[in-house]
Amino acid sequence: MSALASSPVRPDSATPDAGLVIRALDAPFGAEVIGLDLSRPLADEDFARIHRAHLDHHVLVFRDQRITPAQQVAFSRRFGPLQIHVQKKFQLAGHPEVLVVSNIKENGEPIGLGDAGHFWHSDLSYKDKPSLGSLLHAQELPAEGGDTLFANQHAAYDALPEALKTTIAPLRAEHSYLAKYEELRARSPWRPKLTQAQLDEVKPVVHPIVRTHPETGRKALFVSEHFTTRIVDLPEDESAAVLAELFALAVKPQLQYRHPWQPNDMVFWDNRSVQHLAAGTPDHLRRKLYRTTIEGDVPY
């Protein structure tokens, strides 16, 4: 059931915000939400508009949101249950649903996951129920760098040669949180050795290479350089060749939107429709954001 259909009309529903504007970005996809204050109760009519815009545009940018972590969690929960990241070390104190994404260190220790988004990926694709969407709220931004890139996976699929579409239609691929873990761990302080309990949380899963969006019915590529390890239906050499081709085709520049962060931005993207990548922040500049992640459906 969609989040729109499952959102009940409450007797104390807020009044719709007449100033709410959803404006397409000057980009291949994405829209900004203007005139909405998420620190106030959200009317069901406004929620319905946001939900529809999220499906239509894949990435929504909410400007100037001066909200608390609890308010971010509450808004995120309107779309579904929230997922807790395996890196519990970087949970926000008092809010286990919030993952701190930051390159900042205090007393020599990192306060957040500083290399999140180092490779193109869709959040939590390594889970049985990958993420529906993620919300990232800016807390502290660097004077330069720190952009986030998004790539439209519906458009990527649509642009594939017909022969390649036919080849991959029945194929399934393995996704693993550990795919690049040791490579990242070797060069950063943000990847501690995982406990057995954490390893049990992130056992590899198998998903279709082409997934159907459960709310719109559109097809999208569902592989990424970060988490996809192999095509289980092909020999190793063929698997590697097909994945290398798909990884390149999935993130071509014409499929991308690059988000330059502004103070108090909150960005909400559809992990069923896009991949994303962190463009990088200079080491000497501070960056901190809070992420919530909504549970999705089993891909099909």
Output the six-digit token pair for 162.
């017909």
Could you tell me if 91 and 98 are in contact, meaning their C-beta atoms sit under 8 angstroms apart? yes
21-25, 31-35, 199-203, 274-278: range with lowest mean pLDDT: 199-203
- Annotated active-site residue 158? The verdict is no
Please state, rounded to an integer, the average pLDDT across all residues of the chain: 92
**Which residue among the candidates 54, 121, 191, 259 is catalytic per the annotation?**
121
Q: Is the pLDDT of residue 272 over 50?
A: yes
Residue-wise pLDDT for 45-85, tens only, equals: 999 999 999 999 999 999 999 999 999 999 999 999 999 99
How high is the pLDDT of residue 3? 43
**Which residue among the candidates 213, 226, 259, 276 is catalytic per the annotation?**
276
- Annotated active-site residue 291? The verdict is yes
Which letter does DSSP use for residue 64 in this model? S
Nearest to 120 by CA among 152, 157, 86, 164: 152
Helices (H), the chain: 3-6, 44-57, 69-77, 153-158, 162-168, 181-185, 196-201, 236-250
Looking at per-residue pLDDT, the higher value among 95 and 180 belongs to 95
- Annotated active-site residue 230? The verdict is no
Residue-wise pLDDT for 150-185, tens only, equals: 999 999 999 999 999 999 999 999 999 988 877 777
Output the six-digit token pair for 124.
């939590």
- Annotated active-site residue 276? The verdict is yes
**Which residue among the candidates 115, 123, 265, 270 is catalytic per the annotation?**
123
How high is the pLDDT of residue 156? 98
Domains of the chain in start order, with CATH, are: 3-295 (3.60.130.10)
237-to-55, 187, 231, 243, 278 alpha-carbon distances in Å: 36, 28, 10, 10, 30
